[in-house]
């Protein structure tokens, strides 16, 4: 990447870039950044104009545009994706320096919050078997990049295995829609029909970026602002209560591993769960992606191997994890 002789973007500027990459517009990026802005910027809200100036400075430093599209729906260019990886590495290194070293000698596992459905049972089973904790788990925010995390964790769970590690497939997740059983008699929903007839609310945590782009849900006008606000649990609760009596066509869309805890009979199924069903979304075939466990390169480690085996067993024991 050819760059100018100016001072390279600092941690905050990298965070601004990543917020724009995540939210795809300056206004929402500014709203997301305001609660975490540095102390010298806290005398006023962090405005979209400041976001724009920061992005412009980074692009001057890189020597070319990093985003394309209009202000309401920005997309990363190829150079932008290169800088995104570098920015996540910069932010990750600073976070690592701030994080105290636990010094417990345990192998460390990085995963997303919804992976707790099988990670937590695996931890409990290891304690029962070995009489002590065998792994320290860090639940990452969805935007944290897998390849940046592997060098500081012994194990990593994600949809895109980072290069250099030994990976094993845990399961295949598929895209699903939560629909009212009384209004939707079918057992699957085609992607064209979803985009044409309904109002999709995408919660695509853990879905690889190339699949998001191919499926087109983030860009669909019926998806509202394109990116949901709040977490999936809040969206499920709100949608079930608001559409229990009268359905207005809104459909929550999520991968099957994210949807799993909210299905009828599961731990967080909750009220009205039996009035709704999760159906696969299909095009020519179901829309799927694989989730892998990656072990960092290095010599054999008995503890890491025990943790890896326990995670594989726990993932395979969960019902309907791949949408079956």
**Which domain CATH number covers 21?**
1.10.10.10
Instruction: Please give the C-alpha separations between residue 235 and each of 51, 202, 270, in angstroms, as whole numbers.
Output: 28, 10, 13
Based on the fold, state whether residues 189 and 231 are members of the same structural domain: yes
Q: What is the pLDDT of residue 98?
A: 66
**Based on the structure, what is the number of domains in the chain?**
3
Among residues 243, 237, 232, 238, the alpha carbon closest in space to that of 198 is found at 243
Based on the fold, state whether residues 160 and 187 are members of the same structural domain: no
Spatial separation of the C-alpha atoms in residues 157 and 120, rounded to whole Å: 13
Q: Residue 11 burial by CB count (10 A; 0-12/13-18/19+): exposed, middle or buried?
A: middle
Give the position of tokens 């109002």.
Answer: 199
Q: What is the pLDDT of residue 225?
A: 36
Q: What is the pLDDT of residue 274?
A: 85
The residues, any chain, with a CB within 8 Å of residue 185's CB and separated by 6 or more, are: none
Q: What is the pLDDT of residue 140?
A: 82
Q: pLDDT truncated to tens, each residue of the chain (324 aa)?
A: 555 557 888 889 999 999 998 888 899 888 888 888 777 777 677 788 899 999 999 999 998 999 998 767 888 998 888 888 788 777 766 775 666 555 567 888 989 988 998 999 899 888 888 888 888 888 887 665 555 565 678 888 988 777 777 888 999 999 999 999 988 999 999 999 999 999 999 998 889 888 888 888 766 554 443 344 457 888 888 888 887 678 889 999 999 999 988 887 777 777 778 889 999 999 988 899 999 998 887 655 777 888 889 999 998 887 666 443
Q: Is residue 1 part of a domain?
A: no
Based on the fold, state whether residues 130 and 263 are members of the same structural domain: no
Among residues 176, 159, 158, 169, the alpha carbon closest in space to that of 255 is found at 176
Q: What is the pLDDT of residue 150?
A: 58
Q: What is the pLDDT of residue 323?
A: 40
Q: Is residue 61 part of a domain?
A: yes
Based on the fold, state whether residues 218 and 267 are members of the same structural domain: yes
Based on the fold, state whether residues 272 and 239 are members of the same structural domain: yes
Q: What is the pLDDT of residue 16?
A: 92
Based on the fold, state whether residues 148 and 183 are members of the same structural domain: no
Based on the fold, state whether residues 226 and 311 are members of the same structural domain: no
Based on the fold, state whether residues 228 and 198 are members of the same structural domain: yes
Based on the fold, state whether residues 234 and 294 are members of the same structural domain: no
Spatial separation of the C-alpha atoms in residues 153 and 23, rounded to whole Å: 27
Q: Which of 98, 121, 137 is the last residue of a domain?
A: 98
DSSP symbols for 153-204: -SEEEESSPPTTSEEEEEEEEEEEEEEETTT---S-EEHHHHHHHSEEEE--
Model pTM greater than 0.75? no
User: Both tokens of residue 236?
Assistant: 């499920």
Q: Is residue 216 part of a domain?
A: yes
Tell me if 99 sits within 8 A of 26, measured CB to CB: no
Q: Is residue 151 part of a domain?
A: yes
Based on the fold, state whether residues 119 and 267 are members of the same structural domain: no
Q: What is the pLDDT of residue 56?
A: 94
Based on the fold, state whether residues 191 and 283 are members of the same structural domain: yes
Q: What is the pLDDT of residue 132?
A: 84
Domain with 120 in it:
108-169+289-317
Residue 54, helix vs strand vs coil:
helix
């Amino acid at each position: 990447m050819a760059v100018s002789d100016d001072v390279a973007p600092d941690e905050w500027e990298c965070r601004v870039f990543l917020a724009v990459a995540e939210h795809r517009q300056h206004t929402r990026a500014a709203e997301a950044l305001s609660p975490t802005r540095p102390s010298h910027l806290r005398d006023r809200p962090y405005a979209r104009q400041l976001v724009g100036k920061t992005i412009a400075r980074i692009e001057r430093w890189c020597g070319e545009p990093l985003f394309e599209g209009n202000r309401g729906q920005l997309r990363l260019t190829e150079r932008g994706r290169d800088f995104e990886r570098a920015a996540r590495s910069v932010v990750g290194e600073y976070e690592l320096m701030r994080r105290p070293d636990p010094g417990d000698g345990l192998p460390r596992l990085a995963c997303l919050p919804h992976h707790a459905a099988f990670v937590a049972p695996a931890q409990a089973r290891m304690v029962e078997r070995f009489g002590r904790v065998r792994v320290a788990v860090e639940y990452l925010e969805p935007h944290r990049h897998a390849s940046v995390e592997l060098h500081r964790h012994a194990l990593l769970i994600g949809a895109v295995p980072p290069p250099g590690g030994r990976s094993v497939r845990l399961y295949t997740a598929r895209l699903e829609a939560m629909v009212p059983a009384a209004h939707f008699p079918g057992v699957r929903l085609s992607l064209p029909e979803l985009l044409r007839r309904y109002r999709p609310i995408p919660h695509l945590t853990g879905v690889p970026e190339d699949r998001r782009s191919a499926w087109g849900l983030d860009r669909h006008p019926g998806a509202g602002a394109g990116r949901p606000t709040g977490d999936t649990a809040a969206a499920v609760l709100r949608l079930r209560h608001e559409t229990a009596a009268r359905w207005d066509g809104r459909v929550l869309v999520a991968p099957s591993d994210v949807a799993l805890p909210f299905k009828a009979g599961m731990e967080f199924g909750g009220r009205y769960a039996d009035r709704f069903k999760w159906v696969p979304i299909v095009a020519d075939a179901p829309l799927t992606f694989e989730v892998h466990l990656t072990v960092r390169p290095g010599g054999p480690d008995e503890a890491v191997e025990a943790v890896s085996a326990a995670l594989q067993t726990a993932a395979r024991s969960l019902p309907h994890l791949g949408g079956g």
